[in-house]
Structure formats: C-alpha cells, structure tokens
Chain A
Amino acid sequence: MQLRSKLILVLTSISLFSSFVLLAASPEEKGRAIFEEMDRRDLGFVNFSSVQKMVLHNTSGQQSTRVMENQVLEGESSGDKTLIIFREPKKIRGTALLTHAHQGADDDQWLFLPKLDRVKRISGASKAGSFLGSEFAYEDLAPQEVDDYQYKFIRDDIFNGEEVFVVERYPKDKDSGYTRQILWVDKTAYRIQRAEFYDRKEALAKTLEAREYKLYLDKYWRPHNLTMVNEIDGKRTELLIDEYQFRVDLADDDFTQASLRRAR
C-alpha cells in the first residue's frame, strides 16, 4: 500500500517534470531546468558528513593519499556551507577549509593553519587551483549553486546503459579555471554520471566519472567513487567515500571562523 503510493508519487513527479521540460522551449531553459530539478531533489538534506580518501596517481605508477573529513550544511536562505578538515598527510593535519557559498556572488573562504594558529582569508581565484596536488580543483569540490552557471541542453543519450541528458554549462565566475563543462545526467534520478571540463584555452582538460551511487534517507543519492582523469598528462585522482552520515549534530555555529580554530 505504502509502496504503491510512493510509486504513484514518483510517477506523477516524473510526468509533471517531463511536461515542464517539454514546455521549456529553448536549449538554455531546458538545460537550466534539469539542474533546477537536480537541486530540488536534493533539498532538505539538512547536513551530512563523510570521511573522504583521495588517492593521487601519477603516470609512473606512484601514488599518494590524502584523507579529510567533509561536513556540509544546507543553506536555508543563502548557499550551502562546507568545512573540510585535513587528516593526512600529517604535515597538514588540522588544517581546515571553510566555505560559505553564495548564490550568484563570490564565495567566502577561510583557511585555518594550525601550525601558526592563524585563520587566513583566501581569495576567490584560488578556486581554480589544485586541491592538495590532486586533479581536483577547489571549485570541483565546492558546493554548487544553480545560479553559478549558465546552461545549454545538448542532447539525449545513453551512458553505461542509462538514459541521460547531456548538458553544457558555463561558469559565470571569471575566476573559474573552466570555460565550459559538459555533464551527463541520468534521467532516473538526476545524478551526474560523467563530466568533461574544458580549460581557459577551450581544450579538454579533465574527465570525471562518478560511480557507486547509494541512496540515503530514501531521497538523497551520493557517489562513493569519483575519478578525475587529467586528459593532458594522464594523471588521475580517485576520491573514495565509505559512507555519508546525514542529519548529524551540525549547525550554523559549526561553520564559523571560531569553529575553524577548534575543528578536529
């Protein structure tokens, strides 16, 4: 009985949504509508926390590991807030990065350096920089807001046997390291399956694949393996997550400068 009502609900929302997408005439509107729907489906998660392991591989087969704890707080009126606390390499343990995302405006970022007991404000341009030597840039790991990009629907396609939308998006922030991104978003649950990142010279710089999606609280899909490959030099970075913990004991006052100093 319950299952059936849920099924009906899902079906209704799909059909409602499809008609909305059909109504959206231009490719720009359709592209944006897909990401608005993705955003809508993720509403209400409140907060989550996960321990993430990053494995960096260079082309001669060497590898190096970074471990961090990632905490995300859903923004009510403003954008999301994230706190990343570094655990490994031990040289930088206790270093913490706090980001306050803003819709359509520059994010605010602070870095806590435990060795100096110092909180340093960092500039928006750092978003294009490499995250701890990995193939991920800071902006790839920052909270994403719909208004941060302009969109364009390209085509419907099949990816890994799933029906997907292929959408291009263009970062509005000129500090971004990208001119455009192409994303493969599955039609069943609006999850990013694959992404291509084009650098400022319009060359394909990196490719991301997101795998092992699991469902939390019956509503929120999260990937547990993200692989970013550098298409220019062949290096790659895997981001591995064991488990996400939703609705933990995190609130606004855990995402302030004062909390940065005591982050552990």
Chain B
Amino acid sequence: MRDNWILPDKSSLPKAILFLAWILSPGIAAAEFESEITLSIRAFNHSARFEDQANQHATAFAQFNWYQSFGDIWSFEIEPYIRLDSADEARSTSDLRRAFLLGEFDRFEFGIGIQQLFWGVTESTHLVDIVAQTDNLAALDQEEKLGQPLIVFSVPFSRGLFDLYLLPYFREQTFPEAGSRLRFETLIDGDNAQYEHPDEESHLDVAVRLNHSFAHIELGLSHFQGTARQPNFQFFPGPSGPVIQPYYAQIRQTGLELQGVWESWLLKLEAIYRSGQPDLTFSEQDYWASTVGFEYSFYSLFDTVQDLGLIVEYIYDDRGDLALTSSEQDWVVGIRWALNDLRSSEVLFLIIKDLDTAARTLVVEASSEIIDDWELVIESTIFSNLPPFNPLEPKADALVFDLRDDDYLELSLRYYF
C-alpha cells in the first residue's frame, strides 16, 4: 500500500517524465507546438467621440497551436486563442481557432472539426472569402477568422483540387461594445440576432470550390449556399434610444478568383454574384461585385536585395449607394516593400480612395524582427474626409462616418515560441 496518493511513486516518475518527453518531442511523436504571444498598445489620435470609449488601450493575445500526427494518414491540430483588452470588453474573448482531425488518403482527404479557411487573391477586399466568419474586432483587414465547424471532403487531381464543405454551425459576427473604439454611435445588439431561416445558426450550409492551375493562370470557382456571413442591420426604437439588430439572410453566392502570372506582373480578379442578401434599404436584390487589379514587382531594387511591389486595385459593387460596405466603388494604391535584411523587415502602405466622395483611408503596416523570435509590428489606420451619415437617406459611402475620429497607431511586440 502506498501512503501518498498524490505524488506518484518513485518508480513511475521516470516513466511519467519519459512519457512527457515523448509527447513533447517533435522528432519522436511527430508532435509540433507553435505558439505566439502579442502585446499591443493602440493609441487614438483624437479624443473619444462617445461616452465610455478610451483614448488608448492595451491588448494581449496568445495563440497556441498543437499538431499531432498519428501514422501516415491521420493528424490532429488544436489551436486555442485568447485575447484580453484593458478597455474594450468586446475585444476580450477566447476562441477555438482550430480543433481539426484530418485524414489524408490516396485519392482524397477527409477532415472534420473546427478549422480556419481563406479564399481569395486580392489585397484590399476579400469578396469571395465566405466560409469562415471574420473576427472583425481583431483587425480591420478582414484577415482574422473565427474557428468554423466544418466537414470537408477534398479530391486532388493533376493540377487542381475540388473541395466540398458541409458547415453544420454558423458563427455570428462579434460586435463592438460601449467601451470599444471603431464603432457606430448606436450599439449593435449581437445577442438578439435575427435569422431568415428558422434553423438559425444550426442551418446546414454547403460550399464547393474548384481550383485549377493553368500555365500562367490560377483559377478558383466557388459556390456557397446558406447563412450570410455578413449581416444586415435592422434599426428599432428602444426604450433608451435606437437599437440595431443583426439579421442573417439565406444567400447563394458564386465566386470567381483569377490570378494571372506574367513576368513581373501578378494580375488579380475576384468577382461574386450573390442573391438573397437585402441591401442597405432592406430590399432584396441580386447583385455582383468585383475587385480587379495587379501587383507589379521590382526585384533587387537598385542592385540591393530589396524587393518592391506596386499594388493597384479597383473595387466595384453593383448596388452602389445601397451596398453594405463603404468600399462600393474605390481605388486602392499601395506599396509592399521587403527590405530582405537580416531582420526580415517589411512595410505595407495602402491608400483606399472612394470614387464619388473625397473619403480616403490610409493603412500602414511595418514589421521587423528585433531579436531572434521577437517581432516588432507598427500599424496605423487614418481616415479622412468621411462623408456624413444621414439616417433618412443612408448611403454606403457614409457607413463609416462614426469612425472619423478613430485614427490610430498600434505598436505590438510579438514573441514566437
């Protein structure tokens, strides 16, 4: 009989250590850990417009990824994500970005669980991308995604891939709260989302995508049928002022992605045709939208190792003033500069200019490794000349009017381990 039930007996201790070493050692068990922790400070140029908003706040976020393979076919990946914000309750959250079991068979792949997914080729907008919900509180660029529950069946063929996705559960968008910057004056009541379909978030959505590589062209064709990831907003008079409720329609969307490669040119096109989504005035109308552009690269700039890419894109939404986005007819011009130094420094600079108004958004992102495994990131977004919003005559261009004092500079320190 052992008299200590808490500590393992001496003989099993080395075994426990060995087991732990086996689990933790990438070489033996084919397990891999990749994590990152980021600390950010975001400071706003103008004082807060609305009560409860802060003029600066700090955010910490951590993402842990554990990958484990079992033999040649099956592998499992899990990725929890935690975010804590000093002033903005809405940004303090946790999510399971991935918890995914993948089987790679000879002629097909089968996956089930929670996964991240991104479709598309253009830099400024992500029209075709639809499967995973955007974490719009994490970043403005729509490139952070919430974990999406899905079942995927993929069949690769000689120069392409066919994917079939079954999406049994819908992730609602997350919305800013009273303390958040970068929000509308009227708060969105995300807890009372309305759905077109009685199954609400349990509606089974379906998506298919076909990808094919031609000699100089990369083609992606996709179709989605189910709950719109992008909500419409319904205004209601509430006891203490107006209330906005999100409404998720049932939509069908066909998407096209084209990427042409020719010498130093990358030509890009994304186009969608969507039906079922109400416009800004809540009338349902089929529409199409497209982003078309190019990226031209100068390699070995001035005989150095530096590379410079020039980005030009044009965004068009058929609904015009009735679009659900302020990028309904905009030009985008940008520069991507890779210094290719020892510290892998990079700078991205984008200007988004509206065609009908003087509205302009400037985005700057710069990053550099300061010491091994530590990266410093500087980001800034500056809005100018946003046209005023008139609730009696809503216009797409004016949707972001409430952000006019939310120019910010963000400094982040990231540690990879």
A130 touches B261 (CB 8 A): no
A262 touches B161 (CB 8 A): no
B161 touches A257 (CB 8 A): yes
Docked CA distance A258–B154 (Å): 9
> In this assembly, does B344 line the interface, its C-beta being within 8 Å of a C-beta of chain A?
yes
Chain A interface SS verdict (over half): mixed
> In this assembly, does A53 line the interface, its C-beta being within 8 Å of a C-beta of chain B?
no
Docked CA distance A232–B259 (Å): 36
Do A130 and B266 form a contact, CB below 8 Å, given A116-B118, A121-B213, A123-B297? no
B305 touches A94 (CB 8 A): no
Docked CA distance A58–B343 (Å): 12
In whole Å, how far is A107's beta carbon from the nearest beta carbon of chain B? 11
In whole Å, how far is B260's beta carbon from the nearest beta carbon of chain A? 9
A90 touches B118 (CB 8 A): no
Docked CA distance A105–B154 (Å): 30
Do A123 and B264 form a contact, CB below 8 Å, given A91-B416, A94-B34, A108-B213? yes
Task: Please indicate which of the listed interface residues A91, A117, A122 has the most CB atoms of chain B within 10 Å of its own CB.
Answer: A91
Docked CA distance A106–B265 (Å): 14
B372 touches A89 (CB 8 A): yes
Do A125 and B305 form a contact, CB below 8 Å, given A90-B417, A262-B104? no
> In this assembly, does B189 line the interface, its C-beta being within 8 Å of a C-beta of chain A?
no
B300 touches A130 (CB 8 A): yes
| A-B Cβ contacts below 8 A, count | 113
Do A93 and B34 form a contact, CB below 8 Å, given A108-B213, A121-B266, A129-B299? yes
> In this assembly, does A199 line the interface, its C-beta being within 8 Å of a C-beta of chain B?
yes
Docked CA distance A253–B108 (Å): 11
Interface residues of B in 292-334 (CB under 8 A from A): 297, 299-300, 303, 305, 307
- For the complex, count residues of B whose C-beta is within 8 A of A: 51
Do A116 and B299 form a contact, CB below 8 Å, given A90-B417, A121-B259, A256-B161? no
Docked CA distance A124–B266 (Å): 10
> In this assembly, does B3 line the interface, its C-beta being within 8 Å of a C-beta of chain A?
no
In whole Å, how far is B31's beta carbon from the nearest beta carbon of chain A? 11
B300 touches A128 (CB 8 A): yes
- CB contacts (< 8 Å) of A116 on chain B: these are 118, 143
A130 touches B118 (CB 8 A): no
B300 touches A123 (CB 8 A): no
What 1/0 mask marks residues of chain B from 178 to 219 whose CB sits below 8 Å from any chain A CB? 000000000000000000000000000000000101011010
A130 touches B417 (CB 8 A): no
B342 touches A63 (CB 8 A): yes
Interface residues of A in 70-106 (CB under 8 A from B): 89-94, 105-106
> In this assembly, does B120 line the interface, its C-beta being within 8 Å of a C-beta of chain A?
yes
A125 touches B344 (CB 8 A): no
B342 touches A64 (CB 8 A): yes
- CB contacts (< 8 Å) of A132 on chain B: these are 340, 344
> In this assembly, does A133 line the interface, its C-beta being within 8 Å of a C-beta of chain B?
yes
The 10 closest A-B pairs by CB, nearest first: A90-B416, A130-B305, A129-B299, A64-B342, A133-B340, A125-B264, A117-B118, A121-B218, A130-B340, A258-B156
A residues apposed to B, CB below 8 Å:
56, 58, 62-64, 89-94, 105-106, 108, 110, 116-118, 120-126, 128-130, 132-135, 137, 175, 177, 199, 232, 249, 253, 256-258, 262, 264
Q: List 14 A-B contacts (CB under 8 A).
A: A63-B342, A89-B372, A90-B34, A91-B367, A117-B116, A117-B118, A122-B266, A123-B266, A123-B297, A130-B299, A133-B342, A249-B72, A258-B109, A262-B75
